[in-house]
Structure 1
Amino acid sequence: MAKKTFETALSKLEKITEELEDGDLTLENSLKKFDEGVQLAGFCSEQLSDAKAKVELLLEKDGKIETLPFGEQESGYKDLSE
């Protein structure tokens, strides 16, 4: 079986959401799909948290370019993405 990726999990979660919104499933199948969706949402959330921890912002301070972990921008830095 292929390794689960964020993209495949998100795609499956979108499909489950559509199936649940259609309302054509039995109660038992709806509960199974809901449980699977919750697990996939948790996996996607973990993947996003891991990615966020790895993202670094490119910042400029006093003419020097430095990197800081995402979310740790200090005052005095200019965000170059602006």
Structure 2
Amino acid sequence: MVATASSTWTTTKHHFYLKWAALLQKYDDAANYLHRYLYKCREAWALCFTHCAFNAGMQSTQRVESYNGIIQY
């Protein structure tokens, strides 16, 4: 079953930390990697940290596709 965005992406830091703890418990084998690499840069990818930055509503793939459209002409 596919999870919806609202159940996966957290908009509050508290909810992020709850989901992060659940992720570490569920994938115990990957916990070391997750903590060492992803947790350190969470401010760059977690929605609850990035939603304050102005992005005009664009997602990362939209931005790339927009650039591709400009380059093609």
Structure 2 length as normaliser, TM-score?
A: 0.29
Greater relative contact order structure (CA < 8 Å, 6+ sep): 2
Higher helix share: 2
- Structure 1 or 2, whichever has the larger Rg, is 1
Structure 1 length as normaliser, TM-score?
A: 0.28
Higher strand share: 1
